[in-house]
Amino acid sequence: MSKGWRGTAEARRFLPDIRVAPPGPRARAIVSRDHRVVSHASARAYPLVVERGEGPSVWDVDGNRYLDFTAGVAVNALGHAHPEIVRVVAQQARNFLHMAGPDFYYDVMVDFAEKLCSIAPGRSPKMAFLTNSGTESVEAAIKLARFATGRPFLIAFYGGFHGRSLGSLSLTASKAVQRRHFGPLVAGVSHAPFGDVEFIEKYLFRKTAPPEDVAAIFVEAIQGEGGYHVAPKGFLPDLRALCDRHGILLVADEIQSGLGRTGKWWAVDHWGVVPDILCVSKPAGGGLPLGAMISRADLQTWGPGAHSNTFGGNPIACAAGLRTLEIILEDGLMENARRVGAHLRQRLRELSSRHPCMGPPRGLGLMQAVDIVRPRDGRPDPERRSRVVRAAFERGLLLLGCGEAAIRFLPPLTIERGHVDAAVEVLGKALRGSGS
């Protein structure tokens, strides 16, 4: 890092501000209460107790200010408490909070669905089924694929993560803990190594999943929770061609990679691949629970009652989601993701050259990751990864792990170069402070 950056007061404003060693006394008290009444099923990364957020910053209940490079796990694409999102949420709340879109009609739901369908890959007419989460979007895709094709089997990839409800969990093959003691799962699901189309043709089609019985293949262009592994060159076009040859639907899970994070609306756009079905969520609601399963309109031959929910397309989330999509375009945030993402990648590459325990960065745009490894043999080191993430938190940088021993960087799309420089400075201290 240049001495000029270190010495510039204007640039230093991007750094976090830790006034009480976290977790502070108020945070510890809340964590203690939480442990007594909130299920322990979820894995909390560290004892961060949030009081408020603004842009890329989060304040905890003890007055510490953190630099957030998690964006609520890719949810807060515009950062925290974006004034336009706050405005439209308040405006819609004054009109009405809920009226069950699957049972009735309202214009903000139609506005959002129209906008979402207009930016979906491909030129064919689209239709959207609105959901509350990524898992729900995947569940809807499973049901539509089977309904539209009349076929029972599904294929997904090792390392993929598609959710934790029983249907989506049957596709997920990221970590054993996510499946342990939950079987039997949905029947008819096979898995292949990520990036290996030949395996599907030579083994699955011949031994366990006859192609004429396969309804759909589910894929992430960049595996998210599984480690931020980018699809190898030629893999997605070859997968598209395979599906076309056998009448199989291609389902792209863009729940973490979609809506501008990689520098394009969708990660599959980097390969020019058009899926038949698209699963969307996380940033879709501008911070509120909202998702969608978007498909070619001709696939949606199912009729009323075939699938539904209560809160899908709720008016508050649709208002926030519509304004989020507009701002991504108006403010040039996809270009910002490309430009600042390239700066993030370069700074991570420089840092990895100085720390043998840190592998080179991988990813697209503002979806980047590095592996934490054992210097002596380069093997993944999940325990060291956990120490680095915790040390970063204690210094004011919020990060999350993914895969076996990777750290992911998914800041808001509004992030500036100064935030990246600050994050890299804190990460460097965390690496040193964790014995790395």
Q: Is the pLDDT of residue 34 over 70?
A: yes
Which residue shows structure tokens 């809807």? 140
Q: Which pLDDT tens digit goes with each residue over 170-213? A: 999 999 999 999 999 999 999 999 999 999 999 999 999 999 99
Asked if residue 10 has pLDDT above 60, the reply is no
Edge-to-edge strands, sheet with 57-60: 50-54, 57-60, 65-68, 397-398
Mean pLDDT of 101-128: 96
Instruction: Delimit the domains of the chain by residue range.
Output: 3-75+332-433, 84-330
For 409-427, the pLDDT digits (tens) are 999 999 999 999 999 999 9
Q: Which of 269, 162, 246 is nearest to 200 (CA)?
A: 246
**CATH of the domain spanning 84-330, picked from 3.40.50.150, 3.30.1380.10, 3.40.640.10, 1.10.3720.10:** 3.40.640.10
pLDDT given for residue 43 in this prediction = 87
Structure confidence at residue 6 (pLDDT): 47
* Residue 26: partners with Cβ closer than 8 Å, 6 or more residues away: 49, 61, 62
The structure tokens listed for 45 are: 């990364």
Asked if residue 1 has pLDDT above 60, the reply is: no
Per DSSP, 17 falls in state B
pLDDT bucket at 436, cuts 50 / 70 / 90: low
What contacts 336, CB < 8 A, 6 or more positions away? 413, 414, 415
This prediction has a pTM of: 0.95
For 3-75+332-433, the fitting CATH number among 3.40.630.30, 3.90.1150.10, 3.40.50.1860, 1.10.10.10 is 3.90.1150.10
Alpha-carbon distances of 262 from 121, 296, 299, 336, rounded to whole Å:
15, 23, 28, 10
Tens digits of per-residue pLDDT, 129-161? 999 999 999 999 999 999 999 999 999 999 999
| pLDDT score of 12 | 72
338 pLDDT higher than 50: yes
What digits encode the pLDDT tens for the residues 241-265? 999 999 999 999 999 999 999 999 9
Query: 4 pLDDT exceeds 90?
Result: no
Q: By C-alpha distance, which of 27, 64, 26 is closest to 47?
A: 27
Q: Rounded to an integer, what distance in angstroms lies between the CA atom of residue 262 and that of residue 256?
A: 10
Rg (CA), the chain: 22
